[in-house]
Structure 1
Amino acid sequence: MTKPAAIPDISFRGVSKRYGDVVAVDKVDLDLSKGSFVSLLGPSGCGKTTCLRMMAGFEQPSAGEVFIRGDNVTGVPAYRRPVNMVFQHYALFPHLNVADNVSYGLRQRSPRPPREGIAKAVDEALSMVRLSGYGARRIWELSGGQQQRVALARALINRPAVLLLDEPLAALDRKLRHDMQIELQNLQRNVGITFLLVTHDQEEALSMSDRVCIMKDGRLVQAGTPRELYDEPVNGYVADFVGKSNFFAGTAGQASDGLIKVALVDGMKTAGRASRSTAPPRQGDAVLVSVRPERIRLAAAERDLPNQIAFRAEAKVLNRIFLGEQTEYLVAHDRLGEFMVRSPRQGNQARAFEIGDRVAIGWPPDAALVLIKD
């Protein structure tokens, strides 16, 4: 007997949002599985925050339907939805102490829970975010990371079906942001609540999420695991937005043994594979060859490159940036132009290359992804 499919915590069905002539969200279908950590990722103006606000009930769709745990909540106001939201600037009440901020939602309920029950719930919520004993503190006495935890506790105390996070780490410095990424992951696993994070930071989305949804111009372009998006993008936009990539324009040739031949500029040729996330290009299609910087090999001479190379050429080092575990080189080829190479600290070269050096570059066939040009 077939097991019935689990009902998603939130579903969008053909959801659009228009502001006059501007289409902010365009026919989005989306499911958030129970207990998942999902990110909406995209540049400013792509529609991700508008989607978040429609989930919360702060905005209503112009078309389509929103479901929470199978119930159609289209048109239902925010205060009647089983979701809570953590805002980018936390929106804490400066005139209230930590405990009163955290308990605010409970104290607005009708009927209001007993005082002892509220106090116990506050203690449990503060313990979840590792702020036990901070209840009497004033908001201005807390660091940025502590304020963010108070905002999380205030949202989690109501035990929402979904916790919506609107770029909650944007105001933190780099180290604290990294620490809070780990805190959020651990917290989500411990409480088992579905988290939806809106961010424009690709590293944040890839490092924290079970599933990432890439948006562009109000549309959902691709959704998948971080690895799927990085290794199998559907187009150049996703390949460029998720991580860094070099792109070389060409024309698709014949496919053989899982590889597609590509004619580049001025008679130069390479070969690569098609993405498993989309239909492969046909012979004669205009394509982009996407190669991640870390997959390009760098050597002092062509004879020093590995044998299994689909493309090899000579280039000139224009710039070098030391990144600790890697060195990033900007190199230039006479016909292919400028592109980026990242070599590990214990790489295949005996020395670091200097600006102005002539070097050999190459990549194996599986490093090149052949994508249909938009």
Structure 2
Amino acid sequence: MRAETAIPDISFRGVTKRYGAVLAVDKVDLDLPKGSFVSLLGPSGCGKTTCLRMMAGFEQPSEGQVFIRGDNVTGVPAYRRPVNMVFQHYALFPHLDVADNVSYGLRQRSPKPPRDEIAKAVDEALAMVRLSGYGARRTWELSGGQQQRVALARALINRPAVLLLDEPLAALDRKLRHDMQIELQNLQRNVGITFLLVTHDQEEALSMSDRVCIMRDGRLVQVGTPRELYDEPVNSYVADFVGKSNFFSGTAGRAREGLIDVTLVDGLKASGRASKSTARPDEGASVLVSVRPEQIRLAAKTGDLPNGVAFRAEVQVLNRIFLGEQTEYLVVHDRLGEFMVRSPRQGNAPTAFEIGDKVAVGWPPDAALILSKE
């Protein structure tokens, strides 16, 4: 018998959801470990919000089962599940003050807890989200970030098994969104409750989560830590969706010393490593060589490229975008076409290259990831 701590807070077993002829979720198996921060990440229409709604009980699966802490809750309505949800637009009651918004769930219980017990719970919940003393405020008197925290306090006051977050930061500006990402991480660690975040923002998912689940067309494509997804994607879809990547078509050659030789366009030669998450492509197979922009080095001429660079080529700068801590270049090669390079800023040195400059690029073999074409 497994220890109770090994039982996931939420499990999907073969969960499928159909809306008429539309297949929204397709045979998903998923576990949310106890105390984890997990993100469902994918583009609009990939099925992530439908999964969230089936966890909450707002939707029921067409096939498969949903478990919460080992109990089968398939068919159980939302109000009988030990989960709470924070919505994108907070869904606060404008006619109630902050304290009444936060205590709403407690006041719906039967029997209702004593008034002093509710007041104590509200004070603790507001302290948890750093809003002590805000109980008498009206919601429309608060900033967007403060309203966000009121919604979190309302969701956490019942101490749910899992807190479901439906793109809760989408309505905030960039700086406030970054601040709230840190707030959510700290809050999750402090309360120890499993958080499930649904988002299409890969930066948000990677910066906040212990595990990220990449979805596409209703299916899970890859589940792993942010570093695993970034460094060892299973295919070009994940490599392109998690961060930015350049892709070059080629044909796989022989494997040697952990690397795979690849013939690119017009016989151009390169090499790279296979992802640990996938099988090594067969010799002669059509492949994609994926290279992250920040792993490509720029120099005035080929001889100035650093040691360890294997692939070297001459390119022309087409565009340049200054991003503060780094500069992003769009360059073009006469056979490889256009691709992106990110060069870190070094001290107070001015940007080295201008639009139209002829420059050299290169990358070490382990920077190139060889992926099978889908």
TM-score (norm: length of structure 2): 0.98
Give the match's secondary structure for 1:233: coil
SS in 2 for 1:26: strand
Provide the residue aligned with 1:47 in structure 2: 47
- Structure 2: gaps spanning 5 or more residues: none
Map Cα deviations across residues 56-101 of structure 1 (whole Å, 9 max, x no partner): 0000000000000000000000000000000000000000000000
Q: Secondary structure of 1:204's partner?
A: helix
Deviations 1:141-172 (A, max 9, x none): 00000000000000000000000000000000
CA offset digits 1:167-221 (Å, max 9, x no partner): 0000000000000000000000000000000000000000000000000000000
Paired residues for 1:190-209 under 5 Å: 190-209=190-209
For 1:45, what is the secondary structure of its paired residue? Answer: coil
Partner residue in 2 for 1:187: 187
Partner of 1:272: helix, strand, or coil? strand
Q: Judge conservation of contact 2:55–2:66 (CA < 8 Å) in 1.
A: yes
1:39-188 matches, cutoff 5 A:
39-188=39-188
Number of residue pairs the alignment of both structures matches: 373
Give the corresponding residue for 1:6: 6
**CA 1:98 to 1:3, structure 2 compared with 1: closer, same or farther past 3 Å?**
closer
What's the counterpart of residue 342 of structure 2? 342
- Aligned mates of 2:137, 2:289 — CA distance in 1: 56
**Does structure 1 residue 325 correspond to structure 2 residue 335?**
no
Residue by residue over 1:222-261, the C-alpha shift from the partner in whole angstroms, topping out at 9 and shown as x without a partner, is 0000000000000000000000000000010000100000
Q: 1:128 & 1:3 partners in 2: Cα distance?
A: 30
CA-CA distance at 1:2 after TM superposition: 9.0
* Root-mean-square deviation over aligned CA pairs: 1.4
Q: How does 1:257-336 map to 2 (within 5 A)?
A: 257-336=257-336
One-letter amino acid matched to 2:372 = I
Task: Give the structure-1-normalised TM-score.
Answer: 0.98
Structure 1 letter corresponding to 2:108? Q
Aligned amino acid, residue 217 of structure 1: D
Structure 1 residue aligned with 2:364: 364
Letter in 2 for 1:369: L
Contact 2:5 2:34 in 1 (8 A): no
Deviation of 1:310 (Å): 2.4
Write the distance in 2 (CA, Å) between the matches of 1:5 and 1:153: 26
Pair 174,188 (structure 1): closer, same or farther in 2 beyond 3 Å: same
Question: How far, CA to CA, are the matches of 2:222 and 2:5 in structure 1?
Answer: 22
Cα distance in 2, alignment partners of residues 140 and 181 from structure 1? 22
Deviation at 1:350, TM superposition (A): 8.4
- Structure 1 unpaired stretches of 5+: none
| Counterpart amino acid of residue 40 in structure 2 | L
TM-aligned CA deviation for residue 308 of structure 1: 1.9
Partner of 1:237: 237
Deviation digits for residues 309-333 of structure 1, max 9, x if unmatched?
2211110000001111101000001
For the residues of structure 2 that align with 1:247 and 1:152, how far apart are their CA atoms?
41
In 2, distance between residues paired with 1:214 and 1:279? 19
Residue type matched to 1:308 in 2? G
Aligned equivalents of 2:358 and 2:302: distance in 1?
11
Tell me, in whole angstroms, the C-alpha distance in 1 between the residues paired with 2:320 and 2:89.
37
What's the % identity of the aligned pairs? 86
How far apart in 2 are the matches of 1:194 and 1:5?
Answer: 13
**1:263-299: CA deviation from partner (whole Å, max 9, x where unpaired):** 0000101000000011111101110000000000100
